[in-house]
Amino acid sequence: MKNRSAFTLVELLVVIAIIAILIALLVPAIQFIRESARRTNCTSNMRQLAAANSGYEQRKGRYPGAYEKMADPQGGPDLLFTWAVILLPDLEQISMWNEYIIGVTPDVGLPIYRCPSDSTIRDTDAECSYVANHGVHGTCWEDLPSNGPFLNRAAHPWQQTTSLDIRDGLDTTLFFSENIQATKYDELGWSGFDDDGQIDPSLLAEQNDLKWNPVFQWFANENPPFGARINEDKDNEDLNTPEEKAIHARPSSDHPGGVIFTFASGRTTFVRETIDYVVYQQLCTPDAENSVMPRKDYILTGTDFDY
């Protein structure tokens, strides 16, 4: 009898089927491992932002504003910066900071401001994945430390927030999150400017300004407009008006099922996109009792944090 030296067609099909099953099992596992690594990297970035923010408060006696202005050393119009630019010295980016304070915009991407899972990020400019808690949606006249920690100090430079204003607890007050619809970290997304790019006092007086970059906000009602909840309408690339952009100034990410939050204490954790909106409001407000939050009496419990 001759020895069989080849597979039969049936055996070959069985082997192919087994290989296909193994691949089908392995691909999700590999994707999960890669996403876990990206999430870990993102968490590390946001912890570094929290550390830089704490370092800034120790140096200045206050937290940075969402927007800040400085006198131009060359005598030109005031220089306007986002919180992300203000924190550059505390992130050991002194050379870039020195460029900004003489009126130069480097437009350089920084890994610290980029989530590895963010599919919208390009490597060629200052695009950003991370946003700071600006407080309640609305005009700069609603910027109060009780509504959110990062204030519009470009409009109202006398306002400030310190750790003493976080009356609801450092471990339950949001400071940083993600938004894949955010733009550049040095771009002031604020409709308070005139045609020359300078702050327009008449717009502020009319309470006709909105903010959206690089910040996140909350609405002072329990039924916000579509796009204002975590991850809601996050793939919309057609945001053109200040109103549309301001509605979408909320946390979003490409992490499956939720976003990463960093609290005032530096604690950084993943939060599911299904979190109740009242809980989100409570987490955003440093001092709910004196905020415009509709449910001031809401008390957070352990079951609210379904991470």
Q: What is the pLDDT of residues 134-154, one digit of tens each?
A: 999 998 888 899 999 999 999
Furthest-apart CA pair in the chain: how many Å? 100
Is 65 in contact with 56 (CB distance < 8 Å)? no
pLDDT at 2 over 60: no
Residue 226: the pLDDT is 96
Residue 74: the pLDDT is 82
HEC profile for 181-237?
A: CCCECCCCEECCECCCCCECHHHHHCCCCCEEECEEEECCCCCCCCCCCCCCCCCCC
Buried-exposed string 217-228: b where 16+ CB fall within 10 A, e elsewhere? bbbbeeebbebb
pLDDT at 15 over 70: yes
Mapped onto helix, strand or coil, the DSSP state of residue 67 is strand
**Side-by-side strand order, sheet with 174-178:** 215-218, 130-136, 174-178, 258-263, 268-272
Number of structural domains in the chain: 1
Which residues neighbour 169 within 8 Å (Cβ) at sequence distance 6 or greater? none
Mapped onto helix, strand or coil, the DSSP state of residue 272 is strand
Q: What percentage of the chain exceeds 70 in pLDDT?
A: 92
Q: How confident is the model at residue 305 (pLDDT cuts 50, 70, 90)?
A: low
If you average pLDDT over residues 114-120, what whole number do you get?
89
Stretch among 110-119, 181-190, 274-283, 292-301 having the lowest mean pLDDT:
292-301
Is 260 in contact with 46 (CB distance < 8 Å)? yes
d(CA 248, CA 232): 8
pTM value is 0.87
Is 4 inside any structural domain? no
Q: How confident is the model at residue 3 (pLDDT cuts 50, 70, 90)?
A: low
Q: How confident is the model at residue 72 (pLDDT cuts 50, 70, 90)?
A: confident
Q: Which of 124, 108, 92, 114 is nearest to 46 (CA)?
A: 114
d(CA 166, CA 201): 30
Tell me which residue range forms the domain holding 221: 9-304
Buried-exposed string 125-159: b where 16+ CB fall within 10 A, e elsewhere? ebbbbbbbbbbbbbbbebbbbbbbbbbbbbbbeee
* 92, amino acid identity: E
Residue 30: the pLDDT is 61
Stretch among 22-31, 37-46, 105-114, 293-302 having the lowest mean pLDDT:
22-31
Cα angle value 17/22/28 (rounded, 5°): 130
Q: How many CB atoms lie within 10 A of CB 191?
A: 18
Is 93 inside any structural domain? yes
Is 23 inside any structural domain? yes
Q: What is the pLDDT of residues 192-225, one digit of tens each?
A: 888 888 888 888 888 888 999 999 999 999 899 9
Q: CA 101 → CA 85, 98, 125, distances in Å?
A: 10, 5, 19
pLDDT at 1 over 60: no
Is 1 inside any structural domain? no
Q: How confident is the model at residue 10 (pLDDT cuts 50, 70, 90)?
A: confident
Q: How confident is the model at residue 78 (pLDDT cuts 50, 70, 90)?
A: confident
- What element of type H or E holds 86? helix 83-86
Dihedral angle of Cα 82, 86, 87, 92, to the nearest 10 degrees: 130
* 169, amino acid identity: G
Residue 206: the pLDDT is 81
